[in-house]
Structure 1
Amino acid sequence: MLRYELSDADLGGVRFGISPLCELGLSLRAIRDPSRYPLQVPWLRRTEDARSRLNLEGLLALVDERHWTPDFLNPRPSSPLTRIDDEFAALSVIPAEQFHSDLMSVHGVIPAFYAGPARPAIRRMVGVLEDFWDSCFAPHWLRMRTILEADIVYRGRQIAQSGLFAMLNDLSATADFDGHALSIRLQTPVSRTEQTDGLGLTLVPTMFTRRASAPVSAGMPPMLMYPARGQGAMWETERVANPAAIVAVLGEVRTSLLTALAAPASSTELGVRFGVTTSAVNQHLRVLRDAGLVTSTRYGRSVLYFRSELGSVLLLG
């Protein structure tokens, strides 16, 4: 049991954040034990081939049999807009003492893959995680983020309609707020109480926890990771009602893609949403781009497509 004793200032400082690195680290739980994360089985299936080419020794050395991950993989996000590149940059310069102590807190020993001098070990870890992100997360991240952001919007509406007390008590069956303290029932026999000392409380929705989670080590900034709503919709195939006249010109798939591209999306994300292979989506997008109906731009490690002004005029009249 972890009990955060919250002052009035802490309650006034409750904030939400999204951490791509936190999602990356917590997803190792699903890789280690897929049966405990049924909603993410489609993600595991879709990334199975990519994961076979990753350094699984380095990845699985970051999670133990209790499904604990080192606190350096669960940074406290400052906003819902955190970028993975910024988190990787911060991770690459963590102190050697923190790297070793966080690993020890999880495993009791330093895993063989990360033995030896800390700086080279940290570089190995960041390299392994970057490969993992590029192959298994980047193609799906925009849609994942949409679900996480939708949860935050829902929680904000809860606060407005029912108050902070109701919202905090609805986050997880294993977290309870009594008006002064937030109690989190963790899977550990050790109990501790922490004074938050005006640091506020950060609430982080995630796709990869079934119950409330918190930092492993004592004295970390107060943070609660909780299961995001709507995860089951992540892999549902999207169906769009399209204007018949446009379908007659472009075809059903291209019209659906053009409709969806009111918001930027990658070809892989669009393939997931519409049940079409990525290669087929890319072929359709090339045709739409050559016709001037969509544009493309690089965002970090992904290429995003967006409906052009001409595409909007055609679709919306």
Structure 2
Amino acid sequence: MGAVRFGVDDIANVRFAMSPLWETVASYQAALDPGLHVVHLPWIRSALTLLRDADLAERTAPLKSLARTPPPRCPLAEIEEELAFLSPAPGLADAVRAWWGAAVQPYWPRIRAVLEADIAYRTRQLAEDGIRQVFAGLNPQLTWSGDTLLSPDLPESAPGLGGAGITLAPTAFAVRCHFLTEDGPAQPALVYPTRAVGTLWERRDPTGDSLARLLGRSRAQLLTYTSSPATTTQLAARTGLSLGAVSQHLTVLREAGLVTSHRYRREVNYAASDLGVALLERG
């Protein structure tokens, strides 16, 4: 059983972040072990097709031996920012770039939306229930004993955090928690499985069905695409509607109780409510 001890300053310095570098490396590992990542099978099928390309397979081969990444250093880092802190092992950064561009970047908007929605949920939970409940909800393996966080996924000999705090980073491509550290000023990070990952690859076509007749084709499309959290810009890109039209339709859907909205920094994510999900399943 591993443990991490928290002081008062550590609790005050808990923050959230996303890591495109972690998602890139973890997604590569998921593609190589589909049995542990059944929820990602729609994506894994296309990823394995990519790996049949001999050139891409050779360029990404160094990722097979990369077990962990540096902890994320800022909440909304770009992939190139994170690569600056990656081990200088020959070919490693190029391998990450190759896999990112081929297999992750095309889907990053929807992956990022799910991660942002998780962070919005956790920060709201922090405000309502406190940090202990936040940690309790991250993973069933995490438990508290006094001032110490316990889990089989934590290092057995981890010292206290020393007031530096910890970064909590949701991930779509992990089934357990991971504890990331490195020498230097970066906070340690606890990577944990995100909520709602099962919605990531869902696809529904509302056109021509009872849902479209009930709501109108455009609103039915928008409700369908909010089965995973998305911003107004993302929804406009997916549906071909203007930003103004998307905003107007979302207002109607929200007032009807079919979607909810959650702000994170400068962006607002929209997601189908329980009522909206029930309507989608029946439609």
Using the size of structure 2 for normalisation, the TM-score is 0.71
Of 67, 73, 77, the match for 1:77: 73
CA distance in 2, matches of 1:176, 1:62: 32
- The size of the alignment, in residue pairs, is 242
Native 8 Å contact 1:176 1:184 kept in 2? yes
Native 8 Å contact 2:170 2:191 kept in 1? yes
Aligned amino acid, residue 55 of structure 1 = L
CA distance in 1, matches of 2:26, 2:157: 22
- Give 1:173 shift: 2.0
Of 121, 125, 129, the match for 2:92: 125
CA distance in 2, matches of 1:4, 1:32: 31
CA distance in 1, matches of 2:234, 2:160: 42
The answer for the alignment partner of 1:273 in structure 2 is none
CA distance in 1, matches of 2:173, 2:153: 15
CA distance in 1, matches of 2:119, 2:56: 33
Task: Say yes or no: does 1:203 pair with 2:203.
Answer: no
- Give 1:244 shift: 8.3
CA distance in 1, matches of 2:153, 2:250: 51
The answer for the alignment partner of 1:39 in structure 2 is 39
CA distance in 1, matches of 2:247, 2:163: 48
Superposition map of 1:136-285 within 5 A: 136-186=103-153, 191-215=156-180, 221-239=187-205, 256=221, 263-265=232-234, 270=238
**Two-structure CA RMSD over aligned residues (Å):** 3.6
Native 8 Å contact 2:31 2:44 kept in 1? yes
Aligned amino acid, residue 135 of structure 1 = A
Superposition map of 1:1-12 within 5 A: 1-12=1-12
Native 8 Å contact 2:180 2:189 kept in 1? yes
Where does the alignment leave 5 or more consecutive residues of structure 2 unmatched? 253-283
Native 8 Å contact 2:71 2:182 kept in 1? no
- Give 1:131 shift: 1.8
Task: Say yes or no: does 1:59 pair with 2:28.
Answer: no
The alpha-carbon distance between structure 1 residues 266 and 138, as it changes in their structure 2 partners (threshold 3 A), is: farther
Where does the alignment leave 5 or more consecutive residues of structure 1 unmatched? 100-117, 271-280, 286-293, 295-306
The alpha-carbon distance between structure 1 residues 214 and 243, as it changes in their structure 2 partners (threshold 3 A), is: same
CA distance in 2, matches of 1:313, 1:186: 45
Percent identity between matched residues is 27
Native 8 Å contact 1:39 1:232 kept in 2? yes
Larger radius of gyration: 1
Q: Deviations over 1:132-160 (max 9, x none)?
A: 11111111111111111111111122222
Of 114, 123, 135, the match for 2:102: 135
| SS at structure 2 position matched to 1:208 | coil
Using the size of structure 1 for normalisation, the TM-score is 0.64
| SS at structure 2 position matched to 1:165 | helix
The alpha-carbon distance between structure 1 residues 24 and 312, as it changes in their structure 2 partners (threshold 3 A), is: closer
The alpha-carbon distance between structure 1 residues 216 and 62, as it changes in their structure 2 partners (threshold 3 A), is: farther
CA distance in 1, matches of 2:13, 2:232: 32
- Give 1:178 shift: 2.7
The alpha-carbon distance between structure 1 residues 194 and 246, as it changes in their structure 2 partners (threshold 3 A), is: same
CA distance in 2, matches of 1:185, 1:60: 29
Native 8 Å contact 1:2 1:191 kept in 2? yes
